[in-house]
Structure 1
Amino acid sequence: MEGGLGTALPPDFMLLAEHFPVLTIGDSLAVTSPLPGREQAWVRATLDELEIIGDWCEDAHGDPPVRPFPAPGGLLPWGATDWGDYFLWSTNGTPAQWTVTVATRGGSWWHYDGGIVQFLTGFVDGSVEQWGLHAIATEITGEDPFCD
């Protein structure tokens, strides 16, 4: 995966993906994780999403401007909603330092100064506001293949 993307991924994401290869919040927000044996397909899908992210970045009027990965600090997708919103990493620093950026279908952009697991925890417990998103229920669904 690292060779295909050209970067390592955050350790908290790798642990999350290992335990929950299929993770959905409120039947709307899907965390896109590489399924075992399908890692290269996940890389291709992630790289394909960068074209859409690039178009969104061109339309954004942020200061500083946002750019898609592999630009320095560029945005790399890790999740989406069924409404067309994107959840991305801002790839500044090492992967362990990457933070979360949210781009809504309605044109809102916001940043969360923390990693994916911290963000998702706050999203579910209500301490992270769902600013600019349609209401997403915070019920978690998915599979942990290590639990019976």
Structure 2
Amino acid sequence: MWVQRVIELTGWEPLGICVDWAAIEAELGVPLPADYKELYEAFGGGVFSDSVYFLGRDEGRGAFDFLKQWRADLSVDQDSKLGDVSAVEPYAIYAPGGKGLVEWGSTEWADEYCWLIDAQQPGEYPVLARSHDVGGWHRYDMSTSEFLYRILADADFQPFGIAHYDLGTTFEPGSGDPVEGQPL
């Protein structure tokens, strides 16, 4: 329902990207939210309303590539040269079999959108969001697509809603077009 609302809101024609979810989820060690998979297959990676970055698939530069971002975040979070401090405190970046954050979106204002994933509780994906202007993490017990819709369409969805800026509700895909029928 919420994925369809995002599609209608943006006037986007779903891409129907073919994704090897088994390989992605095997690397992560947990299944991903079903509605995120629908968003990913419909949009790939790119930018909503010129300001909300959605990580999906970006075969060009990889700027919007979900797995590439997660691997980079995990590498930095686990780098012993940087000490025990995590960029997502009081959490850590999710590592297979553990509990932590996986980023799926952000904004040009440095807001971050993540899931709190616990391998011991697969199927639960609260959205955690942080704005550097407001500080601290905010928890939302709603689907990825509902959170995204509310950001784009609900002017009262504070502190993360952008509808009050009147930026329009567009989607611009990341670099590189998906190769028809090719799995990620």
Output the TM-score relative to the length of structure 1: 0.71
Larger Rg: 2
* In structure 2, C-alpha distance between the alignment counterparts of 1:123 and 1:132, rounded to whole Å: 6
8 A Cα contact 1:123 1:138, kept in partner: no
Deviations 1:62-119 (A, max 9, x none): xxx4332137441110011122221000114324x31211022233321111110111
Match of 1:69 among 86, 94, 111: 94
Match of 2:39 among 4, 9, 16: 16
* In structure 2, C-alpha distance between the alignment counterparts of 1:127 and 1:113, rounded to whole Å: 19
Q: Which runs of 5+ in 1 are unaligned?
A: 59-64
Instruction: Quote how far apart the aligned CAs of 1:142 are.
Output: 3.1
* In structure 2, C-alpha distance between the alignment counterparts of 1:140 and 1:34, rounded to whole Å: 18
What SS class does the counterpart of residue 27 from structure 1 fall into?
coil
Output the TM-score relative to the length of structure 2: 0.59
Q: What count of residue pairs does the alignment treat as equivalent? A: 136
Q: Which runs of 5+ in 2 are unaligned?
A: 1-23, 78-84
* In structure 1, C-alpha distance between the alignment counterparts of 2:158 and 2:109, rounded to whole Å: 14
Would the alpha carbon gap of residues 13 and 105 (structure 1) be closer, same or farther in structure 2, given more than 3 Å must change?
same
Moved segments of 4+, more than 3 Å: 35-38, 132-138
Q: Percent identity?
A: 24
What SS class does the counterpart of residue 91 from structure 1 fall into?
strand
Q: Which residue of 2 aligns with 1:62?
A: none
Q: Which residue of 2 aligns with 1:85?
A: 111
RMSD: 3.3
8 A Cα contact 1:69 1:76, kept in partner: yes
* In structure 2, C-alpha distance between the alignment counterparts of 1:11 and 1:5, rounded to whole Å: 15
Q: Which residue of 1 aligns with 2:57?
A: 34
Instruction: Quote how far apart the aligned CAs of 1:47 are.
Output: 1.8
